Structure formats: C-alpha cells, structure tokens
Amino acid sequence: MKLYIYEHCPFCVKARMIFGLKNIPIELKVLANDDEATPIGMVGKKMAPILQKDDGGYMPESMDIVHFVDTHYASPLVTGPVNPLIGKWLEENHAAAYPLVLPRNVNGRFEEFATPAARSYFINKKEAASGGFEELMSRTPGLVKKVSQQLRDLEPLIQQSNACNGELSDDDFHLFARLRSLTIVAGLEWPARVAGYRDNMANQTQVNLLTSVAQ
Ligand SMILES: N[C@@H](CCC(=O)N[C@@H](CS)C(=O)NCC(=O)O)C(=O)O
C-alpha cells in the first residue's frame, strides 16, 4: 500500500498512525503542495491523505483510512469508547492552535514545500482564507499563553500514555495529530502527563514530532 501525504498535515498524521500502531509497512509518498493533478487524478479532488490500496483502488478521508486498515489487517486495535470532553477540548483548542501552526508550516522544511512554487501556492491559498502570515505570527505571545493553559486543562483528561481514554479510540488519532502539529510552536509549556502522552504516541505510531523545526 502507498499513502500520499503532506508532512505537515494533521489529517495525514491520523492515517500514518494506524500503520505505525499495527506495524504494517507503508510507502509514504509526499505530494508537492502545488501538485493538483495527482490527487485529482486519484480521487477527483486536491486533498491528502490518499491511500492506494493493495487492489490499486484509492481511498481518501483520514478516519476512513484508519478504520479500513484497522479492520482489514490483523485484529482491530481501535476499540475503545471516545470521551466527549476530548472532542470539546479539540474544538476549543482549534481557534488558538490553528493561527499558531499555520504560518510556521512554511518554515518547517517539509518536502511538500521543497520548491518555491509549492511554498507560494500554500501561502497564497492559506493567506486568502485565514489572513496574512505576518499578522498571524504577531499574535504569538497571546496564543502561546492560551494554548499553554489549554494543555494544562488537558492533563487530567489523559488516562494513559498509550491511549488517552485508557483504550485506543478515535480520540487518540485526533488528539495526537493536534499535539504533533503543536510541536512546531516554540515556547509552549507542556505539562508532564501531556508531554508523556505526546512522546509515547510518537514512538508507538512511528510518526515524527516537529520539535527540531519548532519556531
Ligand atoms: N476530511 C479530510 C480532510 C483532509 C484535508 O483537509 N487535507 C488538507 C491537507 S492538511 C488538504 O488536502 N487541503 C487541500 C490543499 O492543501 O489544497 C480528512 O480527514 O482526510
């Protein structure tokens, strides 16, 4: 199987996680961010992640990929219940996390931005939708303070470092993908329990954190 991804993309992280957790070999193909033709040719839309299955067919949508792989390769692992409080935390965190992470992505040395054209494509598209990156960067101090408080609020919700609700569930895909994105932000305060979960999940899923390119 092949998984088409962008390295910065949290949805792609969710899809990558299930392969790491089940120790299933997967060929990762990083799409250039300005390559519209390849994903449109595969699924009719410019998006990632896209799984190319063993039968040659293509599957988009991160959580569909997670559930497909989980139920078709060895015994299912993602069997635990979700906690609505994790969903609520993710929703509330999004407004502060997104403007912190978005402008930093272009300086993350990701393969999808290897060419100036791919980098400009991303900047133009995202600035049109979310505002200028310079203005977003200027909001850093307040947003870092806010997200650091949210990470403190998250701490009591994490039951185990290998599954936030004690048994692996969809929540782990959404939560680890968000925490991994946040590791591109320098200066956040990570409570010990949240950092332990982040680091353990990175090991278990074989998905790299972004600490080395944090800004
Ligand atoms: N619901 C989709 C969302 C995927 C998604 O929004 N991916 C982004 C990349 S982070 C994308 O392809 N955006 C279009 C673009 O980059 O032009 C999923 O869960 O897989």
- Please report, for the chain, the start and end positions of each structural domain, with discontinuous segments joined by +: 2-72, 84-213
Question: What pLDDT is stored for residue 30 in this prediction?
Answer: 98
48 ligand 1 Cβ < 6 A: yes
Question: What pLDDT is stored for residue 172 in this prediction?
Answer: 99
* CATH annotation of 84-213: 1.20.1050.10
Question: What are the residues whose beta carbons fall under 8 Å from the beta carbon of 182, sequence distance 6 or more?
Answer: 97, 100, 101, 147, 188
Question: What pLDDT is stored for residue 104 in this prediction?
Answer: 98
* CATH annotation of 2-72: 3.40.30.10
Backbone dihedral region of 77: left (phi > 0), alpha (psi from -120 to 50 degrees) or beta?
Answer: alpha
Query: What does the pLDDT look like over 145-170, one tens digit per residue?
Result: 999 999 999 999 999 999 999 999 99
Question: What pLDDT is stored for residue 67 in this prediction?
Answer: 98
Across the strands, what pairs with 30?
A: 5
Q: Which two tokens stand for residue 14?
A: 């969710």
Q: What is the CA radius of gyration of the chain?
A: 17
**Which residue's C-alpha comes closest to atom 14 of ligand 1?**
47
**Which residue's C-alpha comes closest to atom 16 of ligand 1?**
47
11 ligand 1 Cβ < 6 A: yes
Q: Which residues of the chain have pLDDT under 70?
A: none
CA distance 195 to 188: 11
